[in-house]
Every structure is written in structure tokens, then in C-alpha cells.
């Protein structure tokens, strides 16, 4: 495992994302990941799997100081008291005294969190995935997070799905430094503006959906690059992210083979030309990936 240092904090650069993991599958995947050497585990109140993540951590003989555990506030937990109560419930489910990083899951003023800015204008999303925008200010939510930090319930504050303008504003509201912004980032979705800002301001960019909801798996361009190193397109995409300054990534995986393959990305390095070749921004491919991830089929 490799680590990166942001604001003096050491963070495992490769973690395990647990979105859409449930029940025994989630517990097994997290347990397996810990056995393989993963030390960065990402969950969220909205995922409904914090208890399973906590059970897996309790089952494995891993020093708590070696773990980096992150969770995120549910959309219903944005007002001050709701934030405090929600985090207490999260800690109880996780079986932990504190979490290393607590994110605001999405901006309050985004109609379709993390999604609406990448979809074509002609595409309508079903109402079932359109949460109501909250009226609570970001400043109030951050105030509650700061209080929890002072109590030792959380170590660091983060935001998720914030662009440059929202991140800049949140950093002004927050009394404590914002350690990370977790956003969708993969070869088809350009985050260069946000990444430049994060690098200049010493903020972690935590990349979720790094494989574009499976979209990179059959990418001929990535396959050609990977053949040189004996690596898959997915491993090339992960390596591309990890070679960027201030970037960590949290691919989801449930099978032992995929967990192991995702970890096998620290023994090769892409050239400058290959790094440029991997990046291929496409809002259409990003939108297709999002819809693939939302589909119940």
C-alpha cells in the first residue's frame, strides 16, 4: 500500500468503496479487503451498510491507528442537531469511537446529487433518484461537524461532489481545514480544474467510480497500454489516478479476485505519454456509466 500526505495527514492512496454493498456481501468484502492490506474504507449513512463495515473491522485484527475510515452525512442529516445525532448513530453502527473523515455527501443546492452536471440536457432521470434539495446552509452543517471534531468524534472534515466554487466557499465557511473533496473521477470525466485547485490548496481529491461503473473494462485504448505491463484496463485506469498528485481512489469490489487485482497497481508506472493517452473526457460515456450504476437490472 502507498500513502499520500495531505495537510500533514497520511492517507492510504487506494481504498475500498462500499456503495451498493449490502448485508453479508459487504461484511465479507470488507473483511477480505482488510486481509489483503486495504487500510482505507469508505462508507456512508445513505449506503445502509455501516453496521456491516463495522462488523468486518471488528472481526479483523487490524490496529485501529492503521485504519482510515470515512463516512458521509445522509441528506436528512444536514441541520446542526441532525448532524450530531446522525454521527452518533454512525459511530454506534460502526462500533468506533471516531471516524477519520466525515464528508458532506453532496451540496445542499444540487437537484440530482453528483449526477445532474454530467448528463446531457435531453436525458431525464426518474423521480426515484431525485432527492429534494435541502434548505439548510452549508455553514450550519460545517459548524456541527466542527463541534464533533472538537469532541473527538471525527478527525477530519470533507465534502463530496463539490466543484471548485462550492469547495472554495465551503473552505471559507469552515473553521477547520477541509481535508478532502470526494468526486467522480475517471478517464472519461475531466476534473482538471478541481484537481488543479486541490493541488494548489493542499486538499485531497478522493476519486469515486474510478472505473466509470465498469465502462473502462472493455476500453481498447487502455487495453493496449496495459499489455505492455501485463495489466488490465481497470488497473491502468487506477494507476492513472494514483500517479496524480493529491489523488486517492476508492474502487468498489466484492470478489477476492477483483480486490486483489485492484491492489496490484503499485508495481508499474505509466509514462508521461501514457498518462496523457488515458485521459479521454466524454460526458456521454460518463452519463452512460451513471445510468448503468443506477439501473436495477
pLDDT in 10s for each residue of the chain, 297 residues: 999 999 999 999 999 999 999 999 999 999 999 999 999 999 999 999 999 999 999 999 899 999 999 999 998 889 999 999 999 999 999 999 999 999 999 887 655 444 444 444 444 444 434 444 456 889 999 999 999 999 999 999 999 999 999 999 999 999 999 999 999 999 999 999 999 999 999 999 999 999 998 999 999 999 999 999 999 999 999 999 999 999 999 999 999 999 999 999 999 999 999 999 999 876 666 666 665 665 332
Q: Structural domain tally of the chain?
A: 1
Domain span at 114: 3-290
Is residue 295 one of the residues assigned to a domain? no
Identify the burial level of 171 via C-beta atoms within 10 angstroms of its C-beta, where 0-12 means exposed, 13-18 middle and 19 or more buried.
Answer: middle
Instruction: Report the predicted TM-score, pTM, of the whole model to 2 decimal places.
Output: 0.89
Does 32 fall in a domain? yes
Give me the helix-helix angle, 164-173 and 138-150, nearest 10°.
Answer: 50
Beta sheet of 154-160, edge-to-edge order = 16-17, 40-42, 68-73, 99-104, 154-160, 178-184, 204-208, 247-249
Helix (H) or strand (E) holding 144: helix 138-150
**CATH code, 202:** 3.20.20.100
Annotated active-site residue 47? The verdict is yes
Contact 38, 12 (CB under 8 A): yes
Domain assignment present for residue 114? The answer is: yes
Largest CA distance in the chain: 54
Choosing from 38, 47, 185, 188, the catalytic residue is: 47
In a domain, 180, yes or no: yes
For residue 201, being part of any structural domain is answered with: yes
Note whether residue 296 is domain-resident: no
| Residue 256 maps to a domain | yes
Residue 297 lies in a domain: no
Amino acid at each position: 500500500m502507498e500513502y499520500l500526505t495531505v495537510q500533514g495527514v497520511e492517507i492510504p492512496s487506494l481504498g475500498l468503496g462500499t456503495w451498493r454493498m449490502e448485508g453479508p456481501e459487504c461484511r465479507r468484502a470488507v473483511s477480505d479487503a482488510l486481509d489483503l492490506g486495504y487500510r482505507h474504507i469508505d462508507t456512508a449513512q445513505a449506503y445502509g451498510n455501516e453496521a456491516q463495515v463495522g462488523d468486518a473491522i471488528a472481526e479483523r485484527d487490524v490496529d485501529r491507528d492503521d485504519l482510515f475510515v470515512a463516512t458521509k452525512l445522509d441528506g436528512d442529516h444536514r441541520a446542526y442537531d441532525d448532524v450530531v445525532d446522525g454521527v452518533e448513530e454512525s459511530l454506534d453502527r460502526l462500533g468506533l469511537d471516531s471516524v477519520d473523515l466525515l464528508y458532506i455527501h453532496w451540496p445542499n443546492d444540487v437537484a440530482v446529487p453528483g449526477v445532474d452536471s454530467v448528463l446531457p440536457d435531453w436525458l431525464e432521470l426518474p423521480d426515484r433518484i431525485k432527492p429534494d434539495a435541502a434548505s439548510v446552509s452549508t455553514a450550519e452543517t460545517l459548524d456541527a461537524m466542527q463541534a464533533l471534531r472538537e469532541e473527538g468524534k471525527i478527525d477530519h472534515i470533507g465534502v463530496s461532489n463539490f466543484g471548485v466554487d462550492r469547495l472554495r466557499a465551503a473552505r471559507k465557511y469552515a473553521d477547520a481545514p477541509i481535508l478532502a473533496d470526494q468526486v467522480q473521477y475517471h478517464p472519461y470525466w475531466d476534473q482538471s480544474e478541481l484537481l488543479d485547485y486541490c493541488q494548489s490548496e493542499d486538499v485531497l481529491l478522493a476519486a469515486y467510480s474510478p472505473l466509470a461503473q465498469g465502462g473502462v473494462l472493455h476500453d481498447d485504448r487502455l487495453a493496449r497500454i496495459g499489455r505492455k505491463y501485463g495489466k488490465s484496463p481497470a488497473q491502468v485506469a487506477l494507476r492513472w489516478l494514483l500517479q496524480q498528485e493529491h489523488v486517492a481512489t476508492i474502487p468498489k469490489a466484492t470478489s477476492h479476485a477483483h480486490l486483489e487485482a485492484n491492489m496490484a497497481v503499485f508495481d508499474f508506472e505509466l509514462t508521461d505519454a501514457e498518462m496523457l493517452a488515458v485521459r479521454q473526457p466524454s460526458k456521454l460515456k460518463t452519463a452512460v456509466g451513471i445510468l448503468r450504476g443506477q439501473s436495477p437490472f
